[in-house]
């Protein structure tokens, strides 16, 4: 057995100089790299994280709140110019389609994407702070205190959500690192009809789309929002789809336009069992004054008013936003027949008034399981998330042949 012999290395003058130079060079690099990162982070951008401050936390339910985040004022170097460019970029993306930003959990060094809500509606006369059924205080929208670059998010504290629970644990004036914006879907310029199926906080992209369409004459969006807790949809009324009255001789039976009537797998998935019959208030029905509308319902109502203020292109083609609400706690779930009812309405109008040009979209947003149930799983190709094959309920019905396009958000 031989012993390995190691030659001793004596530190020469040249080696010491090289090591010292490396240490100094590394420290210099880290100094300037840190400085550069801070400067890059003075304004929201997709490459580096920018510090934002929590200026408001508005309770929606016992598990969810609307966070308002603000980028601190900066006045050094080119920071002001970068901030102006960032604000301009946000104004442009607000006009195009669905987008998100990433929030970072610094201890675990992980990030999660969140979809910003539209700017808070102007507070209406008569709005006040009230206490909801769960004891949380619902504050009227603080639109008077908004600044152009503020970002608002509807965030639910998920049971195993590292980032969402971290954000909910932060007090006001805390700093949150954001990166973005990241475009997810661009609305076609000629879009005329949108059916949006939203699950939980998936209502945020639906509100983004409604915010954009409210400025486009003659466009319509029907939102079907399925959430867990009934206090999140408190005071929300189911709307009769807008549009001109249909001729009685052209009405079709709903079963003819419900492609899932015989093959629906809803009960097979364990949903909708023992469901109570839903009630749609008649047009013009006034709800009891004792029922206070939730924060999100109020904002959806404000979006409806934005549509009504938009000049319409034609008398027989009014634009508008309509809503339907479903809560798991009430044993009410959005079903394929609810979507088919809206598709049937559009088809009947096309038959009565002629096919109108423009894109018809069905958008789906929510938890992964919710999207899978309706349209199948997304896929990962080349490190990027893509739409994947159409599955779920919509795999049983060729919606493309009926002129509809589907997109999973």
In a domain? residue 383: yes
Cis amide bond preceding 265, omega within 30: no
- According to the model, what pLDDT value does residue 144 have? 54
| Mean pLDDT (the chain, rounded) | 75
pLDDT tier for residue 261 given thresholds of 50, 70 and 90: very low
| Tens of pLDDT, residues 348-372 | 888 776 667 789 999 999 999 999 9
| pTM attached to this predicted model | 0.75
Which of the residue ranges 55-69, 111-125, 320-334 would you say has the lowest mean pLDDT? 111-125
Q: What is the CATH number of the domain that holds 131?
A: 2.40.30.10
Is 163 annotated as a binding-site member? yes
pLDDT tier for residue 399 given thresholds of 50, 70 and 90: confident
In a domain? residue 12: no
Per the structure, the complete domain to which residue 191 belongs is given by 187-283+291-408
Cα gap 184→408, rounded to integer Å = 10
- 214 lies in the same domain as 306: yes
- 298 lies in the same domain as 157: no
In a domain? residue 2: no
Q: What's the burial of 206, exposed, middle or buried (CB within 10 Å: 0-12/13-18/19+)?
A: buried
Cα gap 370→201, rounded to integer Å = 12
pLDDT: which is higher, 140 or 109: 109
- 169 lies in the same domain as 205: no
pLDDT tier for residue 92 given thresholds of 50, 70 and 90: confident
In a domain? residue 6: no
- 363 lies in the same domain as 389: yes
pLDDT tier for residue 403 given thresholds of 50, 70 and 90: confident
Q: Residue 109 to residues 102, 365, 399: CA-CA distances in angstroms?
A: 12, 26, 42
| Tens of pLDDT, residues 274-308 | 333 333 443 334 444 567 899 999 999 999 998 88
- 218 lies in the same domain as 279: yes
- 103 lies in the same domain as 236: no
- According to the model, what pLDDT value does residue 323 have? 95
Contact 181, 44 (CB under 8 A): yes
In a domain? residue 338: yes
Is 154 annotated as a binding-site member? yes
- According to the model, what pLDDT value does residue 385 have? 82
Percent of residues, the chain, with pLDDT higher than 90: 42
């Amino acid at each position: 057995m031989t012993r390995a012999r190691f030659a001793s290395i004596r530190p020469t003058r040249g080696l010491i100089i090289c090591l010292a130079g490396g240490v100094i060079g590394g420290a210099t690099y880290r100094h300037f790299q840190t400085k550069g990162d801070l400067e890059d982070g003075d304004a929201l951008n997709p490459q580096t994280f920018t510090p934002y401050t929590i200026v408001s936390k508005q309770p929606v339910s016992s598990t969810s709140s609307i966070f308002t985040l603000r980028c601190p004022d900066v006045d050094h170097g080119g920071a002001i110019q970068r901030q102006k460019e960032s604000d301009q970029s946000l104004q442009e993306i607000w006009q195009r389609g669905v987008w998100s930003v990433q929030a970072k959990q610094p201890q675990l060094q992980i990030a999660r994407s969140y979809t910003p809500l539209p700017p808070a509606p102007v507070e209406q006369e008569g709005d006040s702070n009230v206490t909801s059924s769960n004891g949380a205080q619902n504050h009227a929208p603080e639109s008077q205190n908004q600044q152009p670059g503020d970002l608002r998010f509807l965030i639910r504290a998920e049971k195993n959500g590292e980032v969402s629970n971290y954000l909910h644990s932060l007090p006001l004036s805390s700093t949150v690192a954001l990166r973005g914006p990241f475009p997810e879907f661009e609305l076609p310029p000629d879009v005329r009809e949108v059916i949006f199926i939203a699950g939980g906080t998936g209502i945020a992209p639906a509100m983004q789309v409604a915010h954009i369409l409210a400025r486009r004459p003659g466009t319509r969006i029907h939102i079907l929002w399925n959430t867990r807790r009934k206090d999140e949809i408190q005071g929300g009324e189911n709307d009769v789809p807008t549009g001109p009255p249909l001729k009685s001789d052209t009405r079709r039976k709903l079963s003819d336009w419900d492609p899932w009537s015989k093959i629906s797998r809803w009960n097979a998935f364990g949903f909708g069992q023992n469901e109570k019959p839903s009630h749609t208030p008649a047009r013009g029905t006034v709800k009891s004054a004792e029922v206070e509308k939730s924060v999100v319902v109020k904002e959806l109502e404000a979006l409806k008013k934005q549509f009504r203020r938009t000049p319409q292109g034609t008398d027989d083609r009014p634009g508008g936003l309509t809503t339907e609400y479903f809560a798991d706690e009430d044993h009410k779930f959005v079903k394929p027949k609810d979507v088919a009812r809206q598709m049937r309405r559009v088809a009947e109008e096309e038959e009565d008034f002629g096919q109108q040009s423009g894109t018809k979209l069905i958008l789906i947003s929510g938890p992964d399981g919710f999207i899978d149930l309706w349209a199948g799983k997304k896929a990962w190709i080349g490190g990027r998330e893509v739409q994947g094959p159409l599955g779920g309920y919509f795999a049983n019905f060729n919606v493309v042949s009926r002129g509809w396009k589907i997109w999973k958000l």
